[in-house]
């Protein structure tokens, strides 16, 4: 298998993107995000794509979050640029004229949960786990999680997940509306492919308009996402952010001081 950070393949009208960093549970660093952006831009330029699927390489993770090692030393300005890049990927997915389906094959945490939620439909393997555990690191979701989670599961449940950092299993994610269906791990890719094939046979102009209308019906999202990116960036350089990320990398619990 290629060692490119994002693998892009086509089968007829359906495109498959695989985040390919399995040794780091497909964590999103700048390079992976840039490759994702480039891959989706390439698909936007193709006139014959009717549906895309995003998944993670390996059997453990969809995407276990933004890359903590590379975030650890970011300044506020660098963190803002990183959040902006994550948002650009999510916005691009939402602006494509065809649906994007997330095939969540394992951990979808932090930026992974955010990537899945930027997709139109989310399908989970029974081994998948979801969560926004950023508060364990002294920061908050920075790629749209504070906004898209409440739009999917309601504001109370979203607050609970963001404030506690709890990680939930696929059945609970389905119960609260975070994913559309849960299927046995071995059947996930075939199931998502079946949905993609079904969508690909519909009128592409109608699908594109359905997507645009359902997205523009929520005009507050871009401003709310900008607010989130600023708050995310502001937390960088605090002692708590440095402690939270150092503790993760040192494999020990964090001790926060509120500073």
Q: Does 67 bind ligand COA (CB under 6 A)?
A: yes
Minimum CB–partner distance for residue 241 and ligand COA (Å): 11
**Toward ligand COA, which CB reaches closer, 94 or 134?**
134
Count of residues that interact with ligand COA, criterion CB under 6 A: 17
Q: Does 244 bind ligand COA (CB under 6 A)?
A: no
Torsion angle, alpha carbons of 92, 97, 103, 109, to 10: 20
Contact map string, positions 108 to 137, toward ligand COA, x by CB under 6 A = -xxx---------------------xx-xx
Residues 197/116, Cβ–Cβ less than 8 Å: no
One residue of 4, 46, 69, 77 binding ligand COA per CB under 6 A: 69
Q: Does 51 bind ligand COA (CB under 6 A)?
A: no
Q: CA–CA separation, 215 vs 96, rounded Å?
A: 11
Q: CA–CA separation, 181 vs 158, rounded Å?
A: 19
Q: CA–CA separation, 90 vs 17, rounded Å?
A: 14
Residue 108: closest CA among 97, 116, 99, 98: 116
Q: Does 107 bind ligand COA (CB under 6 A)?
A: yes
**Toward ligand COA, which CB reaches closer, 69 or 239?**
69
**Toward ligand COA, which CB reaches closer, 7 or 254?**
254
Contact map string, positions 134 to 173, toward ligand COA, x by CB under 6 A = x-xx------------------------------------
**Assigned token pair, 198:** 């079904």
The kind and range of the H/E element at 52 are: strand 51-56
Please report, in angstroms and rounded to a whole number, the separation of the first and last CA atoms in the chain. 45
Minimum CB–partner distance for residue 163 and ligand COA (Å): 15
Q: Does 240 bind ligand COA (CB under 6 A)?
A: no
One residue of 14, 53, 64, 168 binding ligand COA per CB under 6 A: 64
**Toward ligand COA, which CB reaches closer, 56 or 204?**
56
- Which residues are known to be catalytic? 114, 134
Rounded to 10 deg, the angle between the 221-234 and 76-95 helix axes is: 160
Q: Does 46 bind ligand COA (CB under 6 A)?
A: no
Torsion angle, alpha carbons of 230, 145, 159, 125, to 10: -160
The interface region with ligand COA, picked from 74-82, 88-96, 103-111, 195-203 by CB under 6 A, is 103-111
**Toward ligand COA, which CB reaches closer, 153 or 199?**
153
The kind and range of the H/E element at 233 are: helix 221-234
**Beta strands 100-104; 121-125: pairing state:** parallel
Strands (E), 59-214: 61-63, 100-104, 107-109, 121-125, 129-131, 167-169, 181-183
Contacting residues toward ligand COA, per CB under 6 A? 24-25, 27, 64-69, 107, 109-111, 133-134, 136-137
């Amino acid at each position: 298998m290629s060692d490119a950070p994002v693998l892009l393949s086509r089968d007829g009208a359906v495109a498959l993107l695989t985040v390919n960093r399995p040794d780091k549970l497909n964590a999103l660093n700048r390079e992976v995000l840039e490759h994702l952006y480039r891959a989706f831009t390439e698909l936007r330029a193709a006139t014959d794509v009717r549906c895309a699927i995003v998944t993670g390489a390996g059997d453990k993770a969809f995407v276990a979050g933004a890359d903590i090692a590379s975030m650890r030393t970011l300044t506020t300005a660098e963190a803002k640029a990183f959040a902006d890049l994550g948002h650009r990927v999510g916005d691009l997915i939402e602006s494509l004229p065809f649906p994007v389906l997330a095939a969540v094959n394992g951990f979808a945490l932090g930026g992974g949960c955010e990537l899945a939620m930027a997709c139109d439909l989310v399908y989970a393997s029974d081994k998948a786990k979801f969560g926004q555990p950023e508060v364990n690191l002294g920061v908050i979701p920075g790629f749209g999680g504070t906004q898209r989670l409440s739009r999917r599961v309601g504001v109370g449940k979203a607050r609970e997940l963001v404030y506690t950092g709890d990680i939930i299993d696929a059945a609970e994610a389905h119960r609260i509306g975070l994913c559309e269906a849960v299927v046995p791990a071995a059947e996930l890719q075939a199931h998502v492919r079946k949905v993609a094939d079904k969508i690909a046979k519909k009128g592409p102009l109608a699908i594109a308009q359905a997507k645009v209308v359902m997205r523009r019906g929520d005009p507050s999202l871009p401003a709310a996402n900008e607010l989130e990116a600023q708050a995310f960036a502001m937390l960088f350089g605090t002692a708590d952010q440095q402690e939270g990320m150092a503790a993760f990398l040192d494999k020990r619990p964090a001790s926060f001081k509120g500073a």
